[in-house]
Amino acid sequence: MKKLPASPFFETSVKNYIYGQDAIDYALAVEEAANKYDVDALFISPLTEIRTIAEKTERLIIIAAYMDPIRPGRGIADILPEAIKAAGAHGVLLNHIEKPMSLKQIEATIIRANELDLISFACADSIAEARAIAQFNPDIINPEPSELIGSGQASDMTYVIKTLEEVKKVSPDILVEQAAGITKSSQIYDFIMAGNDGAGSASGILKSPDPYALLDEMIYYVSLAKKELNKVK
């Protein structure tokens, strides 16, 4: 069974900013804040740290940064889906703008992920691409314009709402998460209150003066949105 996050959820990664023990310590901080505020959190992990992070955390939903849609057998240097699952990953990131994939590769990777009960977390660079990827029914879509990633400028609300609508039209079961250019906790709150299932930040946190304080605050703001949404139900 897939370890899908409950909405609203938080997502973060280390990209290539930190590695080794620093990446592990950051993952542990995400786990601590997720438990403190009762919020599910996805952590996109470097492949080399998956096993250690999996052994040291319980609530964290660990997403491998990449995998190849291959099967066990001949070959070398490819990322085998069975291997990331054995290491402790709960899912896989695909089609990030810094590791783009063709639609054919995206479909094949989602199929392999489903075979192994791995969460498929797909990125899309535009509304059209989000709509196209939604046809393959990934578990989560992150529609982030490439020009905003790491820029410190978040998606405007018109784009956020339009991508959300287009994905949910194809399948209301696909979770939609916004993360491009987010640097403020208030943006996390606003995007979730606009109807998104989750929100997150990577560069915005790790390039800030106090990453751990901002991480904690962002997850707290997810919990605030969660409380507001529960009042409406």
Residue 199 identity: A
Rounded Cα–Cα distance for residues 201 and 183 (Å)? 7
CA distances from 30 to 14, 34, 51, 84, 191 (A): 11, 6, 16, 20, 20
Among 11, 31, 144, 166, the active-site one is 144
Six token digits for residue 216: 């904690």
Residue written as token pair 């990030």: 96
Does 107 qualify as catalytic in the annotation? no
Six token digits for residue 62: 């660990």
Q: Is 92 helix (H, G, I), strand (E, B) or coil?
A: strand
Angle between helices 20-37 and 211-232 (to 10 degrees): 30
Does 58 qualify as catalytic in the annotation? no
Among 11, 31, 90, 96, the active-site one is 96
Six token digits for residue 79: 């990322």
Give me the active site residues, please.
96, 144
